[in-house]
Amino acid sequence: MPLYKSLDLNSQTNVKVWKISESIEFLTSRLVLTPESLERVRGMKSDLHQRAFLSVRMLLGEFGYSDSDLFYDSFGKPFLKDGMQISISHSYSFSTVVISCHEVGIDIEKQRSKIIQIAPKFIGYETFYLNKNDAAQIQKLTWVWCTKEALYKLYGTQGMIFKKHFLVLPFGTESNQTTAWIVRANHKLKFVATFIEFEGFGLVITEPEILP
């Protein structure tokens, strides 16, 4: 499967999505991996995780990068050698990469009813506007989770708690954006969260609010 989706969110930010349908052998034959990446992928026990890892490298190629252009800090946050900002996510049959001139985070999740059971672990302020009887409850909870996960990746700091440090403002299913905050000690940082939905998956990109 070639590139599934490519979207310019603005003049500085582009997101690409890959639908993972290829074999490990097919993906590996089209990539040049660093020794570290080869060791990492060979150590993965799950076929799906291996293909997700490799598909991310295919997406890097779509941006004009190679595996050797990518590195990680001690927190596990990815960076590009040229200074551009990057965030990575994958879920089941999809992987996604976003690259921007500024800080950015991304997360993709399959929409599943299981999220209702785990919601108390990541929902705090949002309980004031999320309705348990809402027909779109699973969709909205997925968007909240993805937003907080994307902020977590963007901020790249240990000790962050989803219920306490990340706030997602009210939104409707008719909208593809909302405002989100990182609140820690005396620091408050404001972000825009953009929602994308396809084939039963929710994807969220978080970026700093850019003033006109």
pLDDT tens by residue, 101-111? 999 999 999 99
Supply the pTM of this predicted model: 0.95
Q: Show the domain range for 96.
A: 3-101
* CA diameter of the chain: 51
Same domain, 39 and 123: no
- Residues 119 and 164 both lie in one domain: yes
Work out the number of other CB atoms within 10 angstroms of the CB of residue 78.
Answer: 16
CATH number at residue 168: 3.90.470.20
**Are 91 and 52 found together in one domain?**
yes
pLDDT tens-digit profile of 12-54?
999 999 999 999 999 999 999 999 999 999 999 899 999 999 9
Strand ranges of the sheet holding 94-100, from the earlier edge strand across to the other edge: 3-8, 13-19, 94-100, 85-91
| 187, 197 contact by CB (below 8 A) | no
